[in-house]
C-alpha cells in the first residue's frame, strides 16, 4: 500500500469532522426514526449468539450516547421484527433497567424504538432477539451449502435492513465505530466488516473491532464453513472450501487495483481489503462492507472477465464508505461516483478498450431500465417519500450518475477533474453528505474555478431532471462496432469469428440480436457455442432472457436450473419479468418460483413476488 497510516489518527480526525458535519443532512432522512439532533450513538458494542436452529441472533447492543440537545431524555432507534426483552442504562456504576416503547410497525420503516435515558447516562444497552424472517439476514441449512456440513448465515444491511438485526439509529447520516463478540457453533467461522483474523482458531468465539466510523448500513456479519487464502500482504479471500482456490485466482489483480486507485484518488484508509465469497443466493453482485467486501460466486467465471465487480466494491472504499450518502435520496453520490471510479480502475489496469466496452454495456442497461421507469424515478436526486429504496432500485443512480461525472471529466479535462475528485474524497473523508452539499462543493471547487465551462443550470438538469440531458455522453465501443458487423454477416449465413471474444462481446452480441431471429438461427448459435450451458452466469443470463422471448424450448431445463440455483436478484428478476409476460410462461414461472423460494434471500423473494403476483 502506498500510504501506511495510524488508525488512531484517522479515528480522531473523523470524530472532529463528523462533529462539524451539518445538522441539515440529519433532519432529512425520511427512512429513519432516529433524531440525531437530540442524541447520537457514535459507538456500538455488540454481543451476539448465532442460533442456527432458531434462525435467530440473540444478544445485546450497547451504545455510547452523545447528547446534542440539553433536554433530550429519550433516544429513538429503528427496529424491524425485533423482540426487545429489556433496556438498561449505565447509572451509578451499574446497569439499571429503563423503560422503552416499540411503536406500531410501519410497512417500510419498521418499528420506532424509544428508550428512556433520563438526563445523565451516557450508555444504553438493549437486549434483543431477531426474527427468523429478518429482512437483512439469510439463513441457509447445511443442505443448502456446497459441502453440506455446516449451515451458513449472512447479513445484507444496505439500505435499511440493519434495523432487522440490530436496534440502531439506521440512517447513513450517522457514523459509528463498533466492537463485537460473536458466538457460533465450534468449527464454524464468523466474519464481520471489521478486523478479521487470517489465522482464526475455530472455537466458535470471535471478537471484532471496526475503529473507523462507518454508517450503520455497512455493519455486516457472516458465518459458515469458511477458509482463508491470502492473495497479497493486504488482500485475502474468505470462502467455503469448494471455491477458495478459484476465487483467489479470479481476483489476483485486486492488489494492483488498490495501488491504481490510490494513485488516482488518494490513500486506501481501511487497512486490509479482504473479499468474502457468499453462497449463490446472495442477492447482490457485491456489497462494499468495509475491509471485507461480500461477493457473489456468480462472478467467479474462470476467465477473470467479471472483475469489474471487484473494482466496483473496492471503489466504494472512497466513494460510499469514506464519503457517504446522507440519505437514500442521495444514493447516486455512492453508486454514480463508484461506477465512475470502477471504470477508471478498469481502464488503468486493462486499457481503454475494455473500459469502454463496460461503459457501453452499462449505458445500454440504463436505456433499457429507463424505458420501464416512471420519469420521476429517472432523477438522480430521486424523490422517495417513504417508499422503500429497494422498490426503486435501478441503473439510474449508477449509470446516469457515472455519465454525469464522465460529462464533467470531458468538459474540465481529466487532470482538473481528477484533482477535484481527490480533494473531494479528502475534504469529506468519514463524513456523510447530501446532494445539496455536493452541489455547493462542486460550484465552489470546480465551476467557479473554471468559469464558463459548465453552468449551474446544466448541473441542475443532470441532478434534478428526469431522463438524460441532450448533450449527455453516449458511450460507444469500437470493439462492439466490430461485433455488430460480424452479426450482420452471420445473420446472412456467414461464420462468426469469436476466438478473441470475452464476456463483454458475447453480452453485446446476445443483447443486440434482432428479436425476429429465426429459431433455426437460435439453434445454430447454441449448437456451435453451447450458450444454453454457458458456465458464465452473465452470458447464460443474457441467452436465457432471449430464450424466453423466443420461446426457445431447448433452454427450458437450464432456465429452471438457473432460477433454482442462483439468487442474485439482478440475474434472476429480469428472467421472471420476461416470463410474466405470457400466461403460460407465468404459470410455469410461478411453479419454479415456489420451488426456488426457500433458497432465495428475503429481498429476492420480495422483488420477484411483486413481479409474479402483482395483484397481491
Ligand atoms: N452497494 C451496492 C449494492 C446495493 C445498493 C445494495 C443499494 C442495496 C442498496 C453494491 O456496491 C453494488 O452496486 N453492487 C452491484 C455491482 C455492480 C454495479 C458492479 C451489483 O450487486 O450488481
Ligand atoms: Zn455499488
Q: Give tens-digit pLDDT for 432-445.
A: 999 999 999 999 99
CA 351 to chain centre: 25
Give the separation between CA 160 and CA 421, rounded to whole angstroms: 28
Q: Give tens-digit pLDDT for 242-291.
A: 999 999 999 999 999 999 999 999 999 999 999 999 999 999 999 999 99
Q: What is the pLDDT of residue 615?
A: 84
Is the confidence at residue 459, as pLDDT, over 70?
yes
Under the banding of pLDDT at 50, 70 and 90, the label for residue 300 is very high
Q: What is the pLDDT of residue 14?
A: 42
Q: What is the pLDDT of residue 27?
A: 53
From the number of C-beta atoms within 10 Å of its C-beta (0-12, 13-18, 19+), residue 493 rates as exposed
For residue 464, which of 417, 413, 400, 387 has the smallest C-alpha distance? 400
Q: Give, using CA atoms, the residue closest to atom 3 of ligand 1.
A: 287
Q: Give tens-digit pLDDT for 133-166.
A: 999 999 999 999 998 999 999 999 999 999 999 9
465 given a catalytic annotation:
no
Is the confidence at residue 16, as pLDDT, over 80?
no
Give the separation between CA 598 and CA 140, rounded to whole angstroms: 9
Q: What is the pLDDT of residue 8?
A: 40
Helix (H, G, I), strand (E, B) or coil at 432: strand
Interaxial angle between packed helices 556-565 and 537-549, expressed in degrees from 0 to 180 and rounded to the nearest 10? 130
Cα torsion angle, 295, 297, 298, 300, sign:
positive
Taking residue 148's Cβ as centre, other Cβ atoms within 10 Å add up to 10
For residue 292, which of 433, 154, 147 has the smallest C-alpha distance? 154
Q: Which is it for strands 111-116 and 74-79: parallel, antiparallel or unpaired?
A: antiparallel
Q: Which ligand is nearest to the CA of 395?
A: 1
Residues around ion ligand 2, judged by CB within 5 A, are 335, 338
Taking residue 93's Cβ as centre, other Cβ atoms within 10 Å add up to 5
Give the separation between CA 103 and CA 114, rounded to whole angstroms: 8
The pick from 158, 275, 284 for probing ligand 1's pocket by mutation, whose C-beta has the most ligand atoms within 8 angstroms, reads: 284
Instruction: Kindly state the percentage of the chain with pLDDT values over 90.
Output: 95
Is the confidence at residue 2, as pLDDT, over 50?
no
Q: What is the pLDDT of residue 80?
A: 98
Average predicted confidence (pLDDT) for the chain:
95
Q: Give tens-digit pLDDT for 492-547.
A: 999 999 999 999 999 999 999 999 999 999 999 999 999 999 999 999 999 999 99
228 pairs with which residues across the strands?
Answer: 238
Instruction: Kindly state the percentage of the chain with pLDDT values over 70.
Output: 96
Under the banding of pLDDT at 50, 70 and 90, the label for residue 180 is very high
Give the separation between CA 154 and CA 191, rounded to whole angstroms: 9
Give the separation between CA 179 and CA 200, rounded to whole angstroms: 17
The pick from 31, 287, 322, 392 for probing ligand 1's pocket by mutation, whose C-beta has the most ligand atoms within 8 angstroms, reads: 287
Is the confidence at residue 67, as pLDDT, over 80?
yes
Q: What is the pLDDT of residue 185?
A: 98
Who lines ligand 1 at CB under 6 A? 158-159, 284-288, 308-309, 312-313, 316, 335, 398, 570
Cα angle 282-287-288, degrees, rounded to a multiple of 5: 160
Q: Burial code of 122-134, b = ≥16 C-beta within 10 A, e = fewer? A: ebbbbbbbbbeeb
More confident residue, 43 or 25: 43
Query: 287: CA distance to ligand 1 center in Å?
Result: 6
Q: Give, using CA atoms, the residue closest to atom 22 of ligand 1.
A: 285
Q: Give tens-digit pLDDT for 348-373.
A: 999 999 999 999 999 999 999 999 99
List the end-to-end C-alpha distance of the chain, in Å, as a whole number: 52
Q: What is the pLDDT of residue 448?
A: 97
What is the DSSP code (8-state) at residue 375? Answer: G
Cβ atoms of 323 and 336 within 8 Å: the answer is no
Is the confidence at residue 315, as pLDDT, over 60?
yes
Average pLDDT over residues 335-346: 99
**Continuous segment of H or E residues that includes residue 491:** helix 478-491
Q: Give tens-digit pLDDT for 201-229.
A: 999 999 999 999 999 999 999 999 999 99
What order do you get walking across the sheet with 152-155 strand by strand? 137-140, 152-155, 221-224, 189-192
Q: State the cell numbers at 319.
A: 466513494
**Residue 192: CA count within 13 A, CB half-sphere:** 20
Over 248-287, what HEC string results?
HHHCCCHHHHHHHHHHHHCCCCCCCCEEEECCCCCCCCEE
Place of cell 438485526: 165
Under the banding of pLDDT at 50, 70 and 90, the label for residue 25 is very low
Q: Burial code of 256-295, b = ≥16 C-beta within 10 A, e = fewer? A: ebbebbbeebbbbbbbebbbbbbbbbbbbbbbbbbbbbbb
398 given a catalytic annotation:
yes
Most distant pair of Cα atoms in the chain: their distance? 85
From the number of C-beta atoms within 10 Å of its C-beta (0-12, 13-18, 19+), residue 167 rates as buried
Q: What is the pLDDT of residue 616?
A: 75
Taking residue 100's Cβ as centre, other Cβ atoms within 10 Å add up to 20
Q: State the cell numbers at 60.
A: 445485546
Amino acid at each position: 500500500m502506498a500510504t501506511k497510516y495510524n488508525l488512531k489518527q484517522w479515528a480522531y480526525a473523523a470524530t472532529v469532522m463528523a462533529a462539524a458535519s451539518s445538522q441539515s443532512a440529519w433532519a432529512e432522512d425520511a427512512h429513519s426514526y432516529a433524531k440525531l439532533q437530540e442524541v447520537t450513538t457514535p459507538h456500538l458494542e455488540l454481543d451476539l449468539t448465532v442460533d442456527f436452529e432458531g434462525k435467530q441472533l440473540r444478544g445485546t447492543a450497547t451504545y455510547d450516547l452523545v447528547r446534542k440537545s440539553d433536554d433530550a431524555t429519550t433516544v429513538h432507534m429503528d427496529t424491524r421484527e425485533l423482540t426487545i426483552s429489556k433496556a438498561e442504562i449505565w447509572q451509578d456504576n451499574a446497569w439499571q433497567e429503563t423503560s422503552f416503547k416499540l411503536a406500531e410497525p410501519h410497512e417500510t420503516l419498521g418499528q420506532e424504538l424509544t428508550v428512556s435515558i433520563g438526563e445523565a447516562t451516557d450508555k444504553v444497552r438493549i437486549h434483543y432477539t431477531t426474527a427468523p424472517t429478518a429482512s437483512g439476514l439469510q439463513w441457509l441449512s447445511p443442505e443448502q451449502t456446497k459441502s453440506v456440513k455446516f449451515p451458513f448465515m449472512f447479513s445484507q444491511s444496505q439500505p435499511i435492513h440493519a434495523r432487522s438485526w440490530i436496534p440502531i439509529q439506521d440512517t447513513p447520516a450517522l457514523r459509528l465505530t463498533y466492537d463485537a463478540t460473536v458466538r457460533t457453533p465450534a468449527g464454524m467461522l464468523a466474519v464481520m466488516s471489521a478486523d478479521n483474523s487470517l489465522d482464526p482458531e475455530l472455537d466458535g468465539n470471535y471478537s471484532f473491532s471496526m475503529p473507523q466510523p462507518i454508517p450503520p448500513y455497512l455493519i455486516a456479519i457472516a458465518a459458515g464453513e469458511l477458509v482463508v487464502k491470502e492473495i497479497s500482504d493486504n488482500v485475502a479471500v474468505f470462502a467455503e472450501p469448494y471455491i477458495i482456490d478459484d476465487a483467489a485466482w479470479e481476483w489476483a489483480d485486486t492488489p494492483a487495483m488498490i495501488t491504481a486507485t490510490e494513485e488516482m484518488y488518494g490513500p486506501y484508509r481501511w487497512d486490509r481489503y479482504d473479499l468474502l465469497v457468499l453462497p449463490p443466493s446472495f442477492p447482490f453482485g457485491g456489497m462494499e462492507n468495509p475491509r471485507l467486501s461480500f461477493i457473489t460466486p456468480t462472478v467467479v467465471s474462470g476467465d477473470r472477465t467479471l472483475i469489474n465487480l471487484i473494482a466496483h466494491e473496492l471503489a466504494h472504499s472512497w466513494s460510499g464508505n469514506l464519503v457517504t450518502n446522507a440519505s437514500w435520496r442521495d444514493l447516486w453520490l455512492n453508486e454514480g461516483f463508484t461506477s465512475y471510479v470502477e471504470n477508471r480502475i478498469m481502464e488503468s489496469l486493462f486499457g481503454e478498450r475494455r473500459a469502454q466496452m463496460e461503459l457501453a454495456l452499462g449505458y445500454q442497461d440504463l436505456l433499457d431500465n429507463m424505458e420501464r421507469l416512471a420519469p420521476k424515478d429517472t432523477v438522480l436526486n430521486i424523490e422517495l417519500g417513504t417508499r422503500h429504496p429497494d422498490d426503486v432500485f435501478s441503473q439510474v443512480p449508477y449509470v446516469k450518475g457515472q455519465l454525469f461525472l464522465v460529462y464533467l471529466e470531458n468538459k474540465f479535462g481529466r487532470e482538473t477533474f481528477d484533482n477535484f475528485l481527490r480533494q473531494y474524497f479528502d475534504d469529506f473523508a468519514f463524513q456523510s453528505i447530501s446532494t445539496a452539499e455536493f452541489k455547493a462543493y462542486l460550484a465552489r471547487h470546480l465551476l467557479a474555478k473554471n468559469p464558463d465551462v459548465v453552468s449551474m443550470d446544466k448541473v441542475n438538469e443532470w441532478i434534478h431532471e428526469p431522463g438524460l440531458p441532450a448533450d449527455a455522453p453516449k458511450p460507444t465501443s469500437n470493439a462492439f462496432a466490430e461485433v455488430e458487423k460480424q452479426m450482420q454477416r452471420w445473420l446472412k449465413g456467414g461464420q462468426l469469428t469469436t476466438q478473441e471474444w470475452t464476456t463483454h462481446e458475447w453480452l453485446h452480441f446476445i443483447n443486440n440480436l434482432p428479436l425476429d431471429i429465426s429459431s433455426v438461427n437460435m439453434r445454430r448459435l447454441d449448437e456451435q457455442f453451447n450458450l444454453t450451458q454457458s458456465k458464465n452466469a452473465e452470458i447464460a443470463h443474457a441467452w436465457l432472457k432471449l430464450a424466453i422471448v423466443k420461446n426457445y424450448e431447448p433452454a427450458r431445463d437450464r432456465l429452471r436450473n438457473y432460477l433454482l440455483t442462483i439468487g442474485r436478484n439482478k440475474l434472476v428478476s429480469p428472467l421472471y419479468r420476461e416470463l410474466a409476460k405470457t400466461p403460460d410462461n407465468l404459470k410455469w414461472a410461478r411453479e419454479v418460483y415456489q420451488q426456488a423460494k426457500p433458497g432465495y434471500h428475503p429481498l429476492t423473494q420480495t422483488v420477484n413476488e411483486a413481479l409474479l403476483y402483482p395483484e397481491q
